[in-house]
Amino acid sequence: MIRSRAIRRLLRDPLVFIGSFMLLVWLIVALLAPVIAPHDPLKIDILNKFSPPSISSGHLMGTDNLGRDVLSRIMHGSRISLSIGFLVVSVATTVGIIVGVVAGFFGGVLDDVVMRIAEIFMGVPTFFLMMVVVVALGPGLGNALIAMIFVWWPAYARLARGQVLAVKGLAYVEAARALGVPTWRILTHHVLRNIFSPIIAQMTMDLGYVILAATSLSFLGLGAQRPTPEWGLMVSSGRNFVEYAWWVSTFPGLAIASIVLAFNLFGDALGQMFSREE
């Protein structure tokens, strides 16, 4: 009942509606990109390079320096960006929750060691640390994924630990301990079930930030490599032609901005809903 009322209140918020609608559109585009994209995103057509946006030419967002259709590349790029976001956030969250829950529940030296390690990671600027890891491993999308997971898990470990510390002293957890319930069952049935609300909200917010980080690494040549239709790489490729072919980098840039904004609005809405429930 409380959750349904919170959802109805949020849906009446125009910003929440806009964010949810934008996110839904991008999810549909990513799923159906091979079907709805008007052209092959990798097909080179030198004779039509730098064709401006036009309905009559069949290139609604123009073509790039190799004659590839910008709209088709953006559509296929959405699959890459969303896949990166979901993969990095899911793995980082899983690792962070396991480490944070174990450290927070058992405490002691283990808790101190884990939190000091997390603080060291979080004390270094996120993007700088990602760049260092990618440079050490070598440029490429796979190594960029490893770097982002490497950087993102400490935040979830710290968040999960804080939630466990707030929950493990509650009466129902103490009662379960007094009844001799196995520790693993207390963790899975009594602790984990009650710490996910803020974590889910944080995951949704981080999806946008991860996508932004991935595109930034690609822009610098450390992430996806040519000819992959990745948004950051498209912006980087088009920056040299912006004076006479603005569409090559502008439309991918708008795509990045819109999907990050959508996740931020949606994540903020989830945070509001969970806080009202509490």
What's the rounded mean pLDDT across residues 135-164?
92
Look at residue 12 and tell me whether its pLDDT is greater than 80: no
What angle in degrees, to the nearest 10, is found between the helix axes of 141-167 and 126-137? 140
Residues 13-30: pLDDT tens digits? 777 788 888 999 999 999
What's phi and psi for 165, nearest 5 deg? -60, -35
pLDDT at 260: 94
Residues 38-65: pLDDT tens digits? 999 999 999 999 999 998 888 999 999 9
Confidence of residue 11 (pLDDT cuts 50, 70, 90): low
Tokens, residue 194: 């009650």
CA distance linking residue 200 with residue 160, whole number of Å: 11
What is the chain's mean pLDDT, rounded?
87
Residues 196-242: pLDDT tens digits? 878 888 898 899 999 999 999 999 999 999 999 999 999 999 998 99
At 276, which helix (H) or strand (E)? Answer: helix 247-277
Q: Name which residue leads in pLDDT, 228 or 168.
A: 228
pLDDT at 8: 64
Look at residue 5 and tell me whether its pLDDT is greater than 70: no
Q: Looking at the DSSP assignment, which residues form a beta bridge with residue 63?
A: 69
pLDDT at 233: 94
pLDDT at 273: 67
Which residues, other chains included, contact 53 with Cβ-Cβ below 8 Å and sequence gap of 6+?
A: 59, 60, 61, 62, 247
Look at residue 86 and tell me whether its pLDDT is greater than 50: yes
What domains are defined for the chain?
84-277 (1.10.3720.10)
